[in-house]
Amino acid sequence: MRLKKYTDYALRVLIFTASKREGELANKKEISEVFHISENHLGKIIHELNKLELIVTLRGRSGGIRLAKEPADINIGSVVRAMEDDFHLLECFDCATNYCVITPACQLKGVLHEALRAFLNVLDKYTLEDLLTNKQELRELMGLK
């Protein structure tokens, strides 16, 4: 299974924002430069994270973004589920597009459903706070002072 870049970048935005010092705001330009992601693409991701009430956007000259919740209250499994729009690992996962003739007897679908559940269950065990245990190292790698 592979997560979309959209989800990857959303997680990076959250990690970057959570790595800022208390009271400091992150901004789209800064995140774009650190991760080499277009500002336009980041704008869409930031908009979505704002709609999900994971971040707050502040407009204006001294605007930026900050977390809307404590890192311990942001569950990684929930973020991934919200950002991914398709967990159809195979054709047969989507009834509308399934034309596989062996679907009624195939055991693979059940095995992959179990694997997907296990994948998401592992992500559910972690919060954004868990991803920040090496916050100082992350800050240094992202060029934050």
> Can you give the residue range of the structural domain that contains 46?
5-86+127-141
Among all chains, which residue has been given the structure tokens 């979309």? 4
In a domain, 109, yes or no: no
Q: Summarize the confidence of residues 17-34 as an average pLDDT.
A: 96
pLDDT, residue 2, reads 83
Question: 121 in a domain, yes or no?
Answer: no
Q: What is the mean pLDDT of the chain?
A: 94
Q: How far apart are CA 125 and CA 75, in angstroms?
A: 8
At 53 the pLDDT is 98
Residue 39 main-chain phi, psi, to 5 deg = -60, -35
Is residue 108, in this structure, part of any structural domain at all? no
Residue 12 lies in a domain: yes
In a domain, 107, yes or no: no
* Predicted pLDDT of residue 91: 84
pLDDT in tens, 86-141: 888 888 888 888 888 988 898 998 899 999 999 999 999 999 999 999 999 999 99
Read off the CATH number of the domain in which 15 is found: 1.10.10.10
Is residue 20 within 8 A of residue 65, CB to CB? The reply is no
Q: Is residue 114 part of a domain?
A: no
Q: Is residue 23 part of a domain?
A: yes
Instruction: Count the domains in the chain.
Output: 1
Whether the predicted pLDDT of 1 surpasses 80: no
